[in-house]
Amino acid sequence: MRFSTGGVATYVPKCGGPDLPFCITSTRGFAAFYLFAGHTAVTRWENGDVWGADFRDDGGDVDPSGGSDLPDIYFYNGHGICQNPPSATDPDFITVCGNFGTPNTVNIGNKSRWGNSPGKLKFLFVDASCPMDLVSLANNWFPVFAGLHMAVGHSGTASADTLNSPDRGPQFGARTAGLPGVLSWLFPQESVGDAWMDTGTIDIQSGCSAVALAAGRDRNDAIDRRENERITDGRSNPVPNWFAWKWRTE
Amino acid sequence: MADQSPNERALSRLEAPELMRSASRIAGLDLGKRPTFASAANISGVRTRTRTFSRRRDSLTIFARDEDYGYARKAGAWTGPNKDLVTRTRKILRAAKIPDAEIRRIRVISERGTVAERLKSGEVRVERPELLRKLARAERRAAGVPVWSSHGVVGLTEKGAVGFLEIHWPHLLPAVLDEAKVLAGVVKAGFAPEDVRGAELESVEAGVIHSPAIGFFMDVVPVIRCVYRATETRLGTKPALYFDRHGGRVTLPRSIEPAQAVEAGRAR
């Protein structure tokens, strides 16, 4: 599989703050497990080289230098925006601090579509908060599935948030990549949904949830993908008639 | 087995019987008479077509799973009483030689899920959420401080057999615990960490962190963990920094050698 990572640790002084120093540790650790498993990196940008445009469906997401819709898998670690508490009509955001490709804040539901480009993104892993609020999932996330198989993220508030973690991303990578040889079963490879339930809850505050969302052509297909789809399955792109999601709350 | 090297055969003779006994004693897994054995890097294990039991050689770290376990799978997942799940978890941890005194608490975590249909009108019809499974998660406390990276997680099948087990409970040297106690004293005396621009301090606590369950290193570090919250913006994800007794940032425990840094300077 072809994967990209985007890790943003530096937000100060240009983009307010605070900085998130472990986002680079996290994306490099995620990449290390994927490279070890034999997957191919497309881009692995950090800090100002991750642009807001990379996540917008206006041509930026297919920019050969770093668009998020070009690889099969994209892992982002950085800031999002949290409402306190969110409502069904509140948007979800990814917030970077790019050298170019502004604006830095991306309204996911309005601006992003994945899986509709030549590279056809299949799996989107967003390790930020709070970009996948359960209350607004239908408004913000159903529209972005244009061939995308699954997305994972967090639902929370300013007081039930994720902590910047050096382990969450790499452990998720370790459980989804499919490690080589007998390591593929000695260390368990899990479905995307199960791996995120187990690792998305690392270093998060009480009340915050790890969320995994899958699309399917019908009810059973959506549930099957939510429960069982692995990145190495080679499944075809779903027609997003149905959505199935699950969450685990700390 | 024919495709095993002499070295692998020797390892199998040395380790497979004990792995099978542990699988039975800790997880109640019957792996038959001749499960497949394998060893690589820092981990060894045995498996049948549907059941796997493996453990790291450099840490008290155990993985066990039944492929038929889980929501909508053949063996199903536990949604029964919490008490039964907690009791079973205590027995499993005891069988794995986890000291009772180190178990801070066992929490039951519910995993929920639902589905929605996108109608031709563009409207969305969302079904009622359902309980998919319950898992028990044991948290660790040693020498009076939390060990944040340790855990024991148990998922049972619908009938109460072990479907998922992950214990990550590395040995802690006395020197680590002694330092953790000192750090707790430093916090009590009013530890003042470095400022983080754009954030204010939310919490300060002494504890222990260590390498995560899947990885090729086992580093253990006593720390003071400081969690900050953003002050000027609604940006989510809180900085959490780890300090030593002098207020210096510690070297983080490793899991894998990180991928090399990419060269900065993406062209416009």
- pLDDT, tens only, A5-58: 999 999 999 998 899 999 999 999 999 999 999 999 999 999 999 999 999 999
- pLDDT: is B15 or A117 the higher one? B15
pLDDT tens for chain B, 268 residues: list them: 456 789 999 999 999 999 999 999 999 999 999 999 999 999 999 999 999 999 999 999 999 999 999 999 999 999 999 999 999 999 999 999 999 999 999 999 999 999 999 998 989 999 999 999 999 999 999 999 999 999 999 999 999 999 999 999 999 999 999 999 999 999 999 999 999 999 999 999 999 999 999 999 999 999 999 999 999 778 999 999 999 999 999 999 999 999 998 888 898 8
Cβ of B228 within 8 Å of Cβ of A183? The answer is no
Label the pairing between strands A73-77 and A242-249: unpaired
pLDDT tens-place string over residues A54-108: 999 999 999 999 999 999 999 999 999 988 888 999 999 999 999 999 999 999 9
| A214/chain B closest Cα distance in angstroms | 9
pLDDT band, residue A119 (cuts 50/70/90): low
CA distance B264 to chain A (A): 7
Our CA-based measurement puts residue B188 at a distance from the nearest CA of chain A, in whole angstroms, of: 22
* For B213, nearest residue in chain A (alpha carbons): A171
Question: In the predicted model, what is the mean pLDDT of chain A?
Answer: 96
Q: What is the pLDDT of residue A85?
A: 87
Touching A: B residues 18-47, CB under 8 Å: 38-41, 43-45, 47
| Phi/psi at B217 (5° precision) | -135, 160
* Distance (Å) from the alpha carbon of B103 to chain A's nearest alpha carbon: 18
pLDDT of residue A77: 98
- Reported ipTM: 0.96
DSSP B6: H
- Eight-state DSSP code of residue B261: P
B67 close to A (CB below 8 A): no
CB spacing of B109 vs A164 below 8 angstroms = no
CA B228: distance to chain centroid? 24
pLDDT for position B1: 47
In percent, the amount of chain A with pLDDT more than 90 equals: 93
From chain A, the residues in CB contact with B268 under 8 A are 99-100
Q: Element (H or E) spanning B44, and its range?
A: strand B43-47
Coil vs helix vs strand at B23: helix
- Cβ-defined contact of A241 to B117 (cutoff 8 Å): yes
Q: B264 vs A43, A49, A68, B37, B164, CA distance in Å?
A: 12, 7, 18, 45, 42
Decide: B45 and B131 in contact? Cβ < 8 Å. no
Residues of A in contact with B40 (CB under 8 A): 181-183, 186
Min distance A227 CA to chain B CA atoms (Å): 7
Between the CA of residue B167 and those of A82, B53, B213, what are the distances in Å? 33, 12, 8
**How many beta-carbon contacts under 8 Å exist across A and B?**
224
Q: How many CA atoms lie within 13 A of A115 on its CB side?
A: 19
**Whole-angstrom distance, CA of residue B69 vs CA of residue B158:** 8
Tell me which residue in A82, A201, A219 faces B115 most closely, judged by beta carbons: A219
Of B124, B256, B262, the CB nearest to A138: B124
- In chain B, which residues have their Cβ closer than 8 Å to the Cβ of A188? 52, 63, 65
Question: In chain A, pLDDT over 70 holds for what percent of residues?
Answer: 100
d(CA A13, CA A22): 18
CB B112 within 8 A of CB B132: yes
Q: What is the pLDDT of residue B75?
A: 98
- pLDDT score for A50: 98
